[in-house]
């Protein structure tokens, strides 16, 4: 986060804000460089620890945990559950007011989307769509918190001026791809449940090209399998990366605007105006991306239930 002279640099500032608080395992003999109030050291045995730099986070490999993403995801998910459960417990048949009116509006909105998109019977789809929309929206909403507030508070609490702390879970591809892979798992499960294992295999091998003649189809099956497999795998990847890309870009713009505050009075005043303008516009992005993730999830569930030959 600082240059060799100890001064803060723009590149270091940006890189610090984009780095997750990573907990992972470093191998024996690993050389750890000095960082903040930590001294340089050589590990004598494999050690689970917090990464002090982006290089250490990378060297921890696949089995590393982004504690800030996990913590904020759990906190915001719990907030959603607590809020909706409290409203449901105190709901009345009278004219709804306050938070009950707001919750009922969201539930009705999601329910209408599911009815218009999913024309089958499954009691799980509507609650899943509601959970996805509200959870993703709350995680996206953290992008409107000024980028320095919570990371600076974490630095003050820990006493480490190099402490990593990201607050927007959806700017972490591990979170967005994790959700999309869960949706993908449900899609595969319902596809096999509704069509059977043989029907699912036929879906991958006899579409989109199918002549009805075995001596021709035998040559088309490999082509179909490659095309359908790529199309199938692309669904969770595109679902997760779309959400990540939009929120990551928005976070990057907020960070760049925040960096302008330290570049003089004129740029600081411009940054203040740009921050408000971008925040207002970003509200649309936050809501839209939650909506898109929810709608595509429902669409994929409907595709899983579709047993017709023209899907």
Residues labelled as active-site residues: 238, 242, 246
Residues 6+ positions from 15 with CB-CB distance below 8 Å: 1, 54
Distance CA 22, CA 229 (A): 33
Q: How far apart are CA 190 and CA 121, in angstroms?
A: 12
Nearest-angstrom CA–CA distance, 53 and 12: 11
């Amino acid at each position: 986060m600082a240059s060799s002279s100890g001064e803060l640099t723009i590149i270091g500032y940006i890189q610090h804000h984009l780095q997750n608080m990573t907990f992972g395992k470093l191998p024996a003999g690993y050389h750890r460089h000095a960082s903040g109030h930590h001294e340089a050291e050589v590990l004598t045995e494999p050690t689970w620890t917090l990464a002090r730099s982006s290089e250490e986070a990378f060297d921890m490999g696949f089995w590393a945990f982004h504690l800030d993403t996990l913590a904020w995801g759990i906190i915001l998910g719990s907030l959603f559950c607590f809020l909706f459960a409290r409203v449901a417990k105190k709901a009345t048949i009278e004219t709804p007011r306050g938070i009950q009116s707001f919750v009922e509006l969201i539930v009705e909105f999601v329910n209408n989307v599911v009815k218009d998109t999913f024309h089958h019977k499954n009691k799980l789809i509507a609650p899943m769509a509601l959970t996805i929309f509200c959870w993703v929206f709350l995680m996206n909403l953290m992008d409107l918190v000024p980028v320095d507030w919570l990371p600076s508070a974490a630095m003050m609490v820990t006493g480490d001026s190099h402490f990593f702390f990201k607050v927007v879970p959806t700017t972490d591809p591990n979170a967005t791809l994790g959700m999309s892979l869960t949706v993908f798992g449900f899609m595969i499960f319902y596809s096999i449940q509704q069509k059977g294992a043989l029907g699912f295999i036929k879906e991958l091998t006899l579409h989109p090209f199918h002549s009805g003649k075995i001596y021709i189809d035998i040559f088309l099956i490999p082509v179909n399998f490659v095309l359908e497999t790529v199309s199938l795998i692309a669904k969770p990847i595109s679902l997760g990366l779309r959400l990540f890309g939009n929120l990551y870009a928005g976070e990057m713009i907020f960070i760049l605007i925040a960096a302008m505050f330290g570049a003089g009075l004129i740029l600081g005043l411009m940054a203040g105006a740009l921050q408000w303008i971008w925040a207002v516009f970003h509200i649309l992005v936050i809501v839209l991306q939650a909506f898109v993730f929810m709608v595509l999830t429902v669409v994929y569930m409907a595709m899983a239930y579709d047993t017709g030959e023209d899907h």
